[in-house]
Amino acid sequence: MKITIIGAGSPYTPELVQKLAEEQGAMPVGELCLMDIDEKRLEIMHGFCRRYGKRLGLRAEITATTDRERALDGADFVNTQIRVGGNKARARDERIAISLGLVGQETTGAGGFMKGMRTIPVMLGIAHEMERRCPDAWMINYTNPTGLVTEAVNKYSKAKMVGLCSGGFHARWVTSKALGVEAGRVRYDLFGLNHLSFAHNITVDGRSLTDEEFEKVAEAAGSPGKDIVMMIRAVPIGYLDWYFHTEKKMAELKAAPLTRGEQVLALEDELYAAFADPACDSRPAVLDKRGGGGYADVAISAMKAIWLDEETWLPANVPNRGTVPFLPDDAVIETMCWADAGGFRPVAVPGKPPHLESVRGLVCAVKNYEQLAVEAAVTGNREKALLALMAHPLVGDYDVAKEVLGKMGGIVCLPC
C-alpha cells in the first residue's frame, strides 16, 4: 500500500504516523510519501517522521517530495491537509472579518468563505491530478472548510473522495466521559453540515439515554451550553457558539490581543524547532498547544474500512442523496456513515426529529451559502461570491459583503 500525504509539512502528520504504526498489522503500508510545497517544512517533517516512525516500529519507507505528480503516482490513499497561504493568510482573514464586525473564524462565516475561495481551486487541481495518476485511489480529506471542499470535489471531479472531521465524534467522547462508559458503546444519529452538526438519538449498547443521563451529557457538552442542549435534545459541535452566542463571541474576538491564527503563527517557530531537533524522536510537548487532534483516528478508520472491506461506523461528509429530504441530493452533509470498500453510505434516519426543527432553517441557510460559495470558487464569478456572503447568516448585509470582497482583493474567486 502507498499512502500519500499532501500538505505533509503540517503538524498533523505525526499523528498519522503514530496511528499507522499502531495499525500496521491490518494496514501493510509499503510507502508513506510526504508531499509539500514548503521545502523547509517538508525536510524538517521528513526527518522527524523517520525518527518517530523508527521509534514506533513503523516498517513503511517514509519518502518526501515537492513533486505532486510523483507523490500521486501509484497511491492507494491520498490524505489532503493543505492550508493555502499558510497561517499568515488565516490571520489576515480573521483580521479582515473582525475589522468589519464579522466573525473571524477559519471555517465559519466570512473567514471560512475567504479560506474556501483560496482552497477549492487548489483541491480541485489535486483531484484532477488523481484522475490521471491514481484513479482508483481515495482522497481522505481533512482540509478546511471540509464541507465546501468535499462538495466541490464531488461535484466537479471524478476523484473518489470523503471529507472527514473529528468533530463528528464529539458527542461520543462527551457521552463516554459523562456516563463513564467506553466510547465504542456509544452510537447516535448525526444531522447537519460540517461544523454545524447535531448528534441526537444517543444510545449506549443500543439503549436510549434516560432523561437523567442526557442531562449529564448536556452538562458535559460544553458549548453552546446546557440549556440549549436540553432544549434541542441534541449535542451540537462546539462551533455552534458562533451562531447561538454571536454577540458574546464577537466581543471576545475584539477584546483578544491575538486571533487564533496569530496565536498559531507565534507557535510555529517553537514547534518546528522542536521537530527539527535531531534528538527528537517522539511527539514534542509544544504540539499540545496547537490543537486539532483526533483526525488520525477517523482517517485511519476510514482507510482501514476501505482496504479491508470492513464495515465501519464513522462520521463523514458525503453527498446527501436523499438522507436529509429537505436538502438537495448533491448537497454534501455531515452524517454517520457505514464505510467499506464500496465507499461511504449515510445511515438512514427514520422520520424527522421534531426537536431539531428549530435548527432546520439554520442548516438550510448555511447549505445555501455553501452551494453558492462552491460555485463562486469554481467559476470565478464575483457576483456569485457576493450572493454567497449575503446568504450566510453571519454576514447577510450587502454593503458589508461588498467590503469583504474588496478587502480580499486578488485572492478571491480564482477560476480552476
115-143 residue pLDDT tens: 999 999 999 999 999 999 999 999 999 99
Residue 42 contacts residue 9 (beta carbons within 8 Å): yes
Give the residue from 299, 321, 325 showing the smallest Cα distance to 312: 299
pLDDT value of residue 286: 87
Spatial separation of the C-alpha atoms in residues 261 and 92, rounded to whole Å: 8
Spatial separation of the C-alpha atoms in residues 285 and 275, rounded to whole Å: 11
Q: C-alpha grid cell for residue 321?
A: 442523496
pLDDT value of residue 287: 87
Sign of CA dihedral 321, 324, 328, 330: negative
Spatial separation of the C-alpha atoms in residues 298 and 318, rounded to whole Å: 14
pLDDT value of residue 63: 98
Spatial separation of the C-alpha atoms in residues 85 and 119, rounded to whole Å: 9
Sign of CA dihedral 192, 316, 335, 229: negative
pLDDT value of residue 416: 38
The catalytic residue positions are 239
Q: C-alpha grid cell for residue 50?
A: 523517520
Residue 93 contacts residue 261 (beta carbons within 8 Å): yes
pLDDT value of residue 12: 92
282-307 b/e with 16+ CB inside 10 Å = b?
A: ebbeebeebeeebbbebbbbbbbbbb
Q: Is 73 helix (H, G, I), strand (E, B) or coil?
A: coil
Structural domains in the chain, sorted by start? 2-164 (3.40.50.720)
Go through the chain and tell me how many residues it has. Answer: 416
Give the residue from 71, 100, 96 showing the smallest Cα distance to 85: 96
Residue 331 contacts residue 364 (beta carbons within 8 Å): no
340 membership: H or E segment, kind and range: strand 332-340
Q: What is the residue whose three cell numbers read 531537533?
A: 277
Please, is 5 exposed, middle or buried when counting C-beta atoms within 10 Å of its C-beta (0-12, 13-18, 19+)? buried
pLDDT value of residue 104: 87
Give the residue from 272, 265, 279, 264 showing the smallest Cα distance to 39: 272
Give the residue from 88, 89, 109 showing the smallest Cα distance to 98: 109
Give the residue from 354, 389, 362, 373 showing the smallest Cα distance to 242: 362
Q: What are the tens digits of pLDDT across the range 137-182?
A: 999 999 999 999 999 999 999 999 999 999 999 999 999 999 999 9
Q: What crossing angle do the helices spanning 246-255 and 86-99 adopt, rounded to 10°?
A: 110
One digit per residue, pLDDT tens: the chain, 416 residues? 999 999 999 999 999 999 999 999 999 999 999 999 999 999 999 999 999 999 999 999 999 999 999 999 999 999 999 999 999 999 999 999 999 999 989 899 999 999 999 999 999 999 999 999 999 999 999 999 999 999 999 999 999 999 999 999 999 999 999 999 999 999 999 999 999 999 999 999 999 999 999 999 999 999 899 999 999 999 998 899 999 999 999 999 999 999 999 999 999 999 999 999 999 999 998 888 776 667 899 999 999 999 999 999 999 999 999 999 889 999 999 999 999 999 999 997 766 666 778 899 999 999 999 999 999 999 999 999 999 999 999 999 999 999 999 998 744 444 43
Q: C-alpha grid cell for residue 272?
A: 518546528
Residue 46 contacts residue 33 (beta carbons within 8 Å): no
Q: What crossing angle do the helices spanning 357-379 and 109-133 adopt, rounded to 10°?
A: 60
